[in-house]
Structure 1
Amino acid sequence: MSSPHSKSAAVAAALAALDADRTPERPVYRAAVRALLVALADRVPGRSVEVRVPPYGAVQCVPGPRHTRGTPPNVVEMDPDTWLRVATGRLDWAHAVADGRVRVSGARADLSAYLPV
């Protein structure tokens, strides 16, 4: 956890809960997920990949062709637990994809060069 976003109180509290095998409180979980999504979008601005972490948020990032209508061709989706772990470097991107914890579609959907945030 090296970025100021990942050192937020919400991210720290959510990770502490996950480390204790507890589900973070919903407002904390939401704030942590969104803080790290914003950090990713700030770090890698663009609109060619949509990163979804239901039910808490989604961002568009990565330079390239802009998507404007319908289902984006480049989508990354995962659960909040996986996002917190991948975004903070606690879970390797390649392992998360190989294990099916991260679902990717499209040629630009590899975020490994941008993680952890």
Structure 2
Amino acid sequence: FRTLPDVELHNLYGPTEASVDVTAHACDPKETGPTVPIGGPVWNTGLRVLDAWLQPVPPGVPGELYLTGAQLARGYWDRPALTAERFVADPFDTTGNGSRMYRTGDIVRRTTDGHLEYLGRTDD
């Protein structure tokens, strides 16, 4: 990628439970970090990086990625226990509509410029 002239590379991230792409990052050939960021939210998507007590973590601190937005699935077909585990009430909802967050199981950290870096999984 870095050696090809006029070639763009975009890193898109997203689980199936949220209409596939929820973040995007336009890669810069000058980036030299140890990871390729997964970027920031696409339209109509909310991202939260939370600790085990559903509290936001500061930039640079790993946490679990939670997703919000209209593109989320409503749950898993005929799997109410798994749905209850992964689609949880959004404690930050200010609409009063009972919105939910999807618990991805992915560990990320927010960079100082607001982008996300994927670090791994909570469940290996």
Common fold by TM > 0.5: no
TM-score (norm 1): 0.27
- Compare the two structures and name the one with the higher strand fraction: 2
